[in-house]
């Protein structure tokens, strides 16, 4: 059973998703939300496995909502489901911790495939926009955030104030302990701090979490 939370401020979109997911007995829509506040409250109450998150919400946008939700629900996986298919939106979504990115007019089979893939711990990018990320990589244009941190480094940084070990971070992000160790080392260097505690302090002070 895959427990799914739908976050979108358009009723017709939510109704369409419910209809698409109802065809699969393994999918269970456990909640719906139209705002960031509702999404955070529903996630806390229902503990979803996968959150389908729109980018454009009333008030706080879906990218910031993803960041806040994953701070509170470490077992959840976010699949961004949006009309915005530009590079900046994709990079921001993954920097916030999303595990997948899909464009809203995707067909039902692809939506179900993406949910399964993300629920199993994989990363899914809509095939129609994946080429944009490949092009950025080919040009040597990585996703960068404040202090020159890559999106993977930002994802790792999110766990430092929580006291997670490299093993625990790796388990959450689906990467090896050695990869986590490398990201932590690079993050400390870029933040100009000697240890994880000071990195966490800088991250909290600068609003990186």
pLDDT at 46: 92
Total residues found in the chain within this entry: 209
Check: CB of residue 56 under 8 Å from CB of residue 62: yes
pLDDT at 136: 58
**CATH of the domain spanning 2-138, picked from 3.40.1690.10, 3.40.50.2300, 3.55.50.30, 3.40.640.10:** 3.40.50.2300
What is the fold of 146-205? Arc Repressor Mutant, subunit A (1.10.10)
Q: What CA–CA distance (Å, rounded) separates 68 from 74?
A: 10
Domain boundaries, the chain: 2-138, 146-205
CA Rg, the chain, in Å?
A: 17
pTM of the model: 0.65
Check: CB of residue 97 under 8 Å from CB of residue 66: yes
pLDDT at 153: 82
Tens digit of pLDDT per residue, the chain (209 long)?
Answer: 999 999 999 999 999 999 999 988 999 999 999 999 999 999 999 999 999 999 888 777 888 899 889 988 888 999 999 887 777 788 888 888 899 999 888 889 999 999 999 999 888 888 887 776 666 555 555 555 567 777 678 878 888 988 899 999 888 777 788 889 999 999 999 899 999 999 989 888 776 76
């Amino acid at each position: 059973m895959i427990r799914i939370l739908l976050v979108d401020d358009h009723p017709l979109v939510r109704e369409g998703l419910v209809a698409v997911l109802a065809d699969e007995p393994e999918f269970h829509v456990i909640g719906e939300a139209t705002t960031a506040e509702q999404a955070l409250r529903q996630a806390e109450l229902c503990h979803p496995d996968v959150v389908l998150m729109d980018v454009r919400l009333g008030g706080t946008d879906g990218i910031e909502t993803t960041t806040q939700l994953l701070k509170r629900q470490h077992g959840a996986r976010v699949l961004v489901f949006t009309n915005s298919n530009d590079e900046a939106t994709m990079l921001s979504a993954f920097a916030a911790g999303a595990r997948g990115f899909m464009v809203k007019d995707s067909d039902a089979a692809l939506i179900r495939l993406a949910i399964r893939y993300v629920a199993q711990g994989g990363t899914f990018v809509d095939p129609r926009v994946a080429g944009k990320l490949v092009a950025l990589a080919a040009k040597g244009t990585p996703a960068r955030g404040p202090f020159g941190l890559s999106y993977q480094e930002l994802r790792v940084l999110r766990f430092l104030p929580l006291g997670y070990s490299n093993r625990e971070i790796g388990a959450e992000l689906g990467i090896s302990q050695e990869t986590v160790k490398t990201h932590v080392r690079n993050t400390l260097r870029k933040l100009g701090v000697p240890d994880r505690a000071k990195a966490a302090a800088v991250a909290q002070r600068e609003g990186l979490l």
